[in-house]
Amino acid sequence: MSSSSKSTRIQKTNAEILSLLDGLSDKVDLERKFGADYLPLAPIDTQNERKTDELSKTEKTKALSKLEKQVKKCTKCGLCEGRTNVVFGVGDPDADLMFVGEAPGYYEDVQGEPFVGRAGQLLTKIIESIGLKREEVYIANILKCRPPENRNPNAKEIVLCTPHLIKQIEIIRPKVICALGTFAAQTLLDTKEAIGKLRGKFFEYQGTKFLPTYHPAYLLRNPNDKKKVWSDIKKVRDYLKK
């Protein structure tokens, strides 16, 4: 096959995949409107691809930096069109604790860093409450580009962007992943269970301890639930101390 016909065929296949994902996204949005369960998004099984177990901190730093360069060029979904910055993630590449939120908001998009607004300041306090500094953990989101008007991510965006997060987790190999809020918890656990029922319990995600808790933005609106997050984060602290 000539290189031009091969390239045409690849373009056609990509267009077909994107068309299928568009259809899936429409289906999910429609079903959500009617309150129906949506197609479960199975986490990608990377068990057989794990080659990064033995990475040193320097190697992790290099691997993350290489990945960040790739993600900064990503145009896999339409969110690339409205972004100011790709919000890749920040923190210690060798962190024991990793926080995963939903998607960048206005300030994150402008600054290119996750959790920098009021919710971010609260997250920093939560981190410090267990004796850690913000720069000693790693913070990322499921989506790396800001959805317009901070709307919920759709199925196509999740499917296309989650592999970036999975690669980050594979490189960092934290001891605990703490999911912040409904969206991160439900996406990574592939469930529709409410965050109120998921929070404060340890699950397994790709072989890593995984504990969901409320999103700091939710706490700003519901300060009475801060004590629940304090209780959750203490469990993380106690696990890390073991």
Q: Which CB, 114 or 200, lies closer to ligand SF4? A: 114
Q: Which CB, 122 or 143, lies closer to ligand SF4? A: 143
Q: Which CB, 104 or 174, lies closer to ligand SF4? A: 104
Least gap, CB of 38 to ligand SF4 (angstroms): 19
State how far the Cα of 100 lies from the Cα of 177, in Å rounded to an integer.
Answer: 7
**Maximum distance among all Cα pairs of the chain, rounded to whole angstroms:** 65
State how far the Cα of 122 lies from the Cα of 174, in Å rounded to an integer.
Answer: 22
**Residue ranges of the alpha helices (H) in 39-117?**
57-72, 106-111
Least gap, CB of 88 to ligand SF4 (angstroms): 8
Least gap, CB of 103 to ligand SF4 (angstroms): 8
State how far the Cα of 85 lies from the Cα of 187, in Å rounded to an integer.
Answer: 23
- For residue 228, the one-letter residue type is K
Q: What angle, rounded to 10 degrees, do the helices at 226-241 and 118-129 form?
A: 50
Least gap, CB of 150 to ligand SF4 (angstroms): 14
Least gap, CB of 163 to ligand SF4 (angstroms): 8
Q: In the chain, which ranges are E strands?
A: 90-91, 97-101, 138-141, 176-180, 203-205, 208-213
Q: Which CB, 71 or 127, lies closer to ligand SF4? A: 71
For binding to ligand SF4 (CB under 6 A), which residues are involved?
Answer: 71, 74-77, 79-80, 86, 143-145, 157, 160-161, 164
Q: Which CB, 86 or 95, lies closer to ligand SF4? A: 86
